[in-house]
Amino acid sequence: MLPKWFNDWNRDNPTNIFGPAILVGALGGAVFVAILLVTWGQPYATTSMQTGPRGTGMSVPEFNVALATPDPTIDAYYTDSPVIPEGGEPLAKDIYQNVQVLGDLTEDNFNRLMLAMTQWVAPDQGCTYCHGDVALEEYGKDDLYTKVVARRMIQMTQNINENWDGHVNAVAEVGVNCYTCHRGENVPSDIWFNITPVNEAAGGWAAVQNRATSLSQFTSLPSNALEVYLTDPDSMVNVHDLESRVAGVPGLTEDVATIQKTEMTYSLMNYFSNSLGVNCVFCHNSRAFYDPSEFTPQWSIAQMGRQMVIEMNVDYLIPLQDTYPPERLGPVYADAPKVACKTCHKGYQRPLQGMNVIADWPELATTGAPVYE
């Protein structure tokens, strides 16, 4: 095919083609990757949220990719603006037989809320999930546990928005409604039950730890931190002491914390961090975990959150134990399902990334008669 002179010339002048080919290939590859990085950006790039003075390492880094991807449940959120009453409309308590909590709502707003609750909690089953497959006239009956639980849920939601406003509206008006926890599911994600002791082979303290459970954040730390710190109103989280040797016997002398208690605090703090998708310096200056003058504003919001969660568990959720059917109760102690930070936050700094879920729902913002504007 090729002219003879070319074949002769090639035979007389052997050339190493591989060296240059590898060089050109490597250079070309590098240019290609560089072009990709310039056009698409560095996939592992992070942005740091500074939470304290410069140079103290107080920053929470996050992948840009994660920051740019919104919480997928935001898209599925259902809402509807209130029907402003003109005055003089009959109220739910006048129209229906058995409204114990939502009596001051006008018919329009009552139905609007029923529809929304259905979307938030039982979109697949519809009204029948709480009312059963009966005629509308029979909706006053309290035959199903779901309705009895839902009524208490309404009261709990109203209480959170009214009395824990310093937490749920701390940064901006955000609030809480059924969707904050339920996200279109009958049973919200990230609820928890008592499970300790988890280590049947050990007695004493060792029995609550050294087994990776979701309650120990899959570490060897104790699995009972939520049980103690999020259901006992008298529990104290603090363990820090500045003395090199503390007089007294840990555990026996009051205010002398045991190593075990320190581990439990650490287990809770891991839980806090994972629930919000942040690290310790979101709330603390890690050079002095105990020092109030070095806390960030988020520390106080979190501390209030702990008190709020205790109240939700103690006053609302634990007393519902006898109302649930057995399959809804805990695997070990048949205890009621409980909430904690992650039930609302779901790994985000602010639930639903700070979307305002209360503006349209004055009915859920107060324990009294709703105020429409």
In 3D space, the residue among 91, 116, 155, 145 whose CA is nearest the CA of residue 372 turns out to be: 91
Rounded CA separation 206/214 (Å) = 17
Cβ contact 150:117 at 8 Å: yes
* CB burial string 109-118: b at 16+ within 10 A, e below: bbebbbebbb
Nearer to ligand HEC, 207 or 335 (CB): 335
Choose which of 176, 215, 228, 355 interacts with ligand HEC (CB under 6 A). 176
Cβ contact 259:266 at 8 Å: no
* CB burial string 46-70: b at 16+ within 10 A, e below: eeeeebbeeeeebbbebeeeeeeee
Q: State yes or no: residue 150 binds ligand HEC (CB under 6 A).
A: yes
Choose which of 77, 328, 330, 347 interacts with ligand HEC (CB under 6 A). 328
Nearer to ligand HEC, 238 or 367 (CB): 238
Least CB distance to ligand HEC at residue 29 (A): 41
For 140, the token pair is 């006053």
Q: State yes or no: residue 362 binds ligand HEC (CB under 6 A).
A: no
| Binding-site string for ligand HEC from residue 179 to residue 218, where x marks contact by CB under 6 A and - marks none | -xxx---xxx--x---------------------------
Least CB distance to ligand HEC at residue 116 (A): 9
Q: Which of residues 79-138 bind ligand HEC (CB under 6 A)?
A: 96-102, 114-115, 117-118, 121-122, 126-127, 129-131
Q: Which long-range contacts (CB under 8 A, 24 or more apart) does 291-297 make?
A: 294/52, 296/51, 296/52, 296/58
Nearer to ligand HEC, 191 or 256 (CB): 191
Count of Cβ atoms closer than 10 Å to residue 127 Cβ: 16
| Binding-site string for ligand HEC from residue 291 to residue 310, where x marks contact by CB under 6 A and - marks none | -------xx-xxx-xx--x-
Q: State yes or no: residue 344 binds ligand HEC (CB under 6 A).
A: yes
Least CB distance to ligand HEC at residue 315 (A): 12
Q: State yes or no: residue 226 binds ligand HEC (CB under 6 A).
A: no
In 3D space, the residue among 75, 92, 104, 126 whose CA is nearest the CA of residue 362 turns out to be: 104
Least CB distance to ligand HEC at residue 27 (A): 46
Q: Which of residues 28-87 bind ligand HEC (CB under 6 A)?
A: none
Q: State yes or no: residue 358 binds ligand HEC (CB under 6 A).
A: no
For 144, the token pair is 């199903």
Least CB distance to ligand HEC at residue 104 (A): 10
Choose which of 77, 193, 205, 289 interacts with ligand HEC (CB under 6 A). 289
In 3D space, the residue among 162, 187, 190 whose CA is nearest the CA of residue 176 turns out to be: 162
Choose which of 58, 91, 178, 221 interacts with ligand HEC (CB under 6 A). 178
Listed in sequence order, the residues at least 6 apart from 306 whose beta carbon sits closer than 8 Å to its beta carbon are 229, 230, 237
| One-letter amino acid for residue 72 of the chain | P
Choose which of 183, 261, 284, 346 interacts with ligand HEC (CB under 6 A). 284
Q: State yes or no: residue 283 binds ligand HEC (CB under 6 A).
A: yes
Nearer to ligand HEC, 129 or 197 (CB): 129
For 363, the token pair is 């009915």
> Which residue shows structure tokens 């520390």?
299
Choose which of 168, 207, 226, 264 interacts with ligand HEC (CB under 6 A). 168
Nearer to ligand HEC, 152 or 206 (CB): 152
Choose which of 354, 367, 369, 372 interacts with ligand HEC (CB under 6 A). 354
Listed in sequence order, the residues at least 6 apart from 76 whose beta carbon sits closer than 8 Å to its beta carbon are 183, 184
Using CB under 6 A as the binding criterion, the count of chain residues that bind ligand HEC stands at: 86
Cβ contact 336:91 at 8 Å: no
Candidate ranges 2-10, 29-37, 75-83, 272-280; the one touching ligand HEC (CB under 6 A): 272-280
Choose which of 58, 91, 174, 195 interacts with ligand HEC (CB under 6 A). 174
For 346, the token pair is 């779901």
